[in-house]
A and B are shown apart, each in its own frame.
Chain A
Amino acid sequence: MHNLVDMPQFSQLKNHLDGILAAKLKATNDEFLPADDYMEKWNYLYDRKDSLRKENYLELNR
């Protein structure tokens, strides 16, 4: 078995779960913003080198 996320035969299931996730996020006022937005909103600083990232970090090891 594999990660089914890109398999067309599971797209209906994916959409169903996406709807559940969206409802949970809405109920908790979670806009799913990038990390920096939350750090700024709460006036937090990253520890040590935690803020460093490659420009394409989201595409790596995905």
Chain B
Amino acid sequence: MNFYKTLILCSILLLGFSCKEQAKEEGKIEKATVPPNVVFILADQWRAQSIGYLGNEDVITPNLDSLSKQSAVFHNAVTVMAVCAPWRGSFISGQYPLTHGVFYNDKPFPTEATTIAKIYKKAGYQTGYIGKWHLNGHERGEEHFSARNKPVPKERRQGFDYWKVREVTHNYNDSFYFDEENQKQFWEGYDAFSQTDSAISYINKNKDNPFLLVLSWGPPHDPYHTAPEEYKQMYDASKLHVRPNVPEDFKDSARNVMANYYAHCTALDYSVGRLLAAIEEAGVADNTIFVFTSEHGDMLMSKGVLKKQRPWDESIKVPLLIRYPDKLGKTPHQIYDPINTPDLLPTLLGLSDLEIPHSIEGTDFSKALIDGDELGNEAALIMLPVPFHEWQFMNGGREFRGVRTKKYTYVKDLLGPWLLYDNEQDPYQNAQPGRYASV
């Protein structure tokens, strides 16, 4: 670069810097002078009840607790359909599962859909995805998990260019992925740690241009016992508190599962800390929308069952933090109105000053976040159009639709009204004895 080019570049940078500083001094930035980066951190099966800042005193999550002090904190973030692929389809499209069609794991998400990376890319962003995808799916008649070990063709990556992705694995300590050229590569050690390294590298390489990065970890999804040893040693199962809706006979088993689950959570929390430090060091913290959430929860033996799909809070409520200092400030904003999965994309687009495509069904809550208000949203829709896999019909699964409000849960099955809870009076949604089968 010659002297004059350098001089012009420096002048532009200084001008941009001084404008931004002035806006900061005035205490508000109406419209970001530089488009914000988006770093979206997705855990898999991390329930809202197992995180420190939402009241769990056993799990060790210092970095997320600290992040919550600078973020919009959602106390009722609801997953529209509490299972992996349907959540992912709704997140990237802003649509409900019966619109995008992935209401059953491993079914193919439509190639032509309008989705998050296509939208940001059109606005000039670099786009990157690291980790678990679970939207490629398989063709009709193929073995149902056949796509999980195969690369995702370029035209099926929904606008993501930087690509280090595995369709699905939960073998965190022997984990491979495919790169942009469909070459098979291996994550070293515990894959969430190596994926975090990769994300930090991506952030550093792209800090001078707007970027969208999705980092999608596999844990704390089962198998529960596979967290790194040093994190497992942080927990003594015998000392853990068990939710009162875990049946007596299951309490010891629940404690053992929870110790291992929490070990994964703490390992991921450590990674969140590394990501936040990297963003700070890269100098982009204020102009980055940093999101932490999970696809769905895990029953962890509440009502005698493990995992998800069910309409109870352990299954449908997830952690959600959004930090964006330039527009939302750095003080906590506690939000109790429910927010649903299809609302995430339009809200991110609103915060990014990008137009929201007509295909999106969710609601843009960015104004409420910027104004420091409640969302003004009465309810989030929850559903299971087709029971499958672990909660198939023979395991007690049933079709349902319901709403989760700030206070109530109301669910119907095909026979009519099925569940009604006052979650403020009855946070454990205790049912009459014998009304639920232990699977």
A: residues with CB less than 8 A from B are 1-6, 10, 13-14, 17-18, 20-21, 24-25, 27-30, 32, 34-35, 38-39, 42-54, 57-62
Contacts of B422 in A (CB 8 A): 1, 4
Per the CB 8 Å criterion, the residue count for chain B at the interface is 51
Of residues 228 through 265 on chain B, the ones whose CB sits less than 8 Å from some CB of chain A are none
Ranked 10 nearest A-B pairs via Cβ: A53-B393, A1-B426, A17-B410, A47-B144, A61-B437, A35-B386, A5-B420, A4-B420, A24-B381, A50-B392
Q: Do B435 and A61 touch (CB < 8 A)? A: yes
Of residues 6 through 34 on chain B, the ones whose CB sits less than 8 Å from some CB of chain A are none
Q: Do B381 and A28 touch (CB < 8 A)? A: yes
Q: Do B403 and A21 touch (CB < 8 A)? A: yes
Q: How far is the CA of A45 from the CA of B107 in the complex (A)?
A: 10
Q: Do A47 and B389 touch (CB < 8 A)? A: yes
Known: A14-B410, A17-B408, A18-B417. A57 touches B393 (CB 8 A): yes
CB-based nearest A residue for B398: A58
Q: How far is the CA of A35 from the CA of B392 in the complex (A)?
A: 11
Q: How far is the CA of A9 from the CA of B18 in the complex (A)?
A: 63
Confirm or deny: B89 has a beta carbon within 8 angstroms of a beta carbon on chain A.
Answer: no
Report the minimum CB–CB distance from B236 to chain A (whole Å).
32
Q: Do A2 and B430 touch (CB < 8 A)? A: yes
Contacts of B405 in A (CB 8 A): 17, 20
7 interchain pairs, CB-CB under 8 A: A21-B403, A44-B140, A47-B144, A49-B392, A52-B393, A54-B393, A57-B393
Contacts of A47 in B (CB 8 A): 106, 144, 388-389
Taking A5-B420, A14-B417, A62-B413 as known contacts, 7 extra A-B pairs with beta carbons closer than 8 A to each other, sorted by chain A number, are A14-B410, A17-B420, A21-B379, A21-B402, A30-B96, A49-B394, A53-B393
Q: How far is the CA of A27 from the CA of B377 in the complex (A)?
A: 14
Contact of B98 among A2, A30, A54, A61 (CB under 8 A): A30
Q: How far is the CA of A20 from the CA of B420 in the complex (A)?
A: 13
Q: Do A58 and B415 touch (CB < 8 A)? A: yes
Q: Do B430 and A32 touch (CB < 8 A)? A: no
Report the minimum CB–CB distance from B247 to chain A (whole Å).
14
Q: How far is the CA of A45 from the CA of B425 in the complex (A)?
A: 42
Q: How far is the CA of A6 from the CA of B419 in the complex (A)?
A: 9
Q: Do B426 and A28 touch (CB < 8 A)? A: no
Contacts of A59 in B (CB 8 A): 415
Q: Do B107 and A44 touch (CB < 8 A)? A: yes
Known: A21-B410, A48-B144, A49-B394. A3 touches B403 (CB 8 A): no
Q: How far is the CA of A25 from the CA of B392 in the complex (A)?
A: 23
Q: How far is the CA of A48 from the CA of B393 in the complex (A)?
A: 12
Contacts of B96 in A (CB 8 A): 28, 30
Q: How far is the CA of A54 from the CA of B374 in the complex (A)?
A: 45
Report the minimum CB–CB distance from B33 to chain A (whole Å).
37
Known: A21-B402, A34-B414, A59-B415. A4 touches B421 (CB 8 A): yes
Contacts of A44 in B (CB 8 A): 104, 107, 140
Contacts of B386 in A (CB 8 A): 35, 38-39
Scoring B residues 415 to 439 as 1 if CB is less than 8 Å from chain A, else 0, what string do you get?
A: 1011111100110001110011100
Q: Do B392 and A42 touch (CB < 8 A)? A: no
Contacts of B432 in A (CB 8 A): 2-3
Q: How far is the CA of A50 from the CA of B395 in the complex (A)?
A: 9
Q: How far is the CA of A47 from the CA of B146 in the complex (A)?
A: 12
Q: How far is the CA of A12 from the CA of B169 in the complex (A)?
A: 47
Q: How far is the CA of A24 from the CA of B389 in the complex (A)?
A: 27
Report the minimum CB–CB distance from B345 to chain A (whole Å).
15
Q: Do A38 and B381 touch (CB < 8 A)? A: no
Known: A24-B379, A34-B399, A38-B98. A50 touches B408 (CB 8 A): no
Known: A2-B430, A17-B420. A32 touches B394 (CB 8 A): no
Q: Do A32 and B412 touch (CB < 8 A)? A: yes
Q: Do B412 and A21 touch (CB < 8 A)? A: yes
Report the minimum CB–CB distance from A16 to chain B (whole Å).
9
Confirm or deny: B401 has a beta carbon within 8 angstroms of a beta carbon on chain A.
Answer: yes
Report the minimum CB–CB distance from A2 to chain B (whole Å).
5
Known: A25-B401, A38-B103, A59-B415. A13 touches B420 (CB 8 A): yes
Q: Do B417 and A35 touch (CB < 8 A)? A: no
Q: How far is the CA of A27 from the CA of B363 in the complex (A)?
A: 12
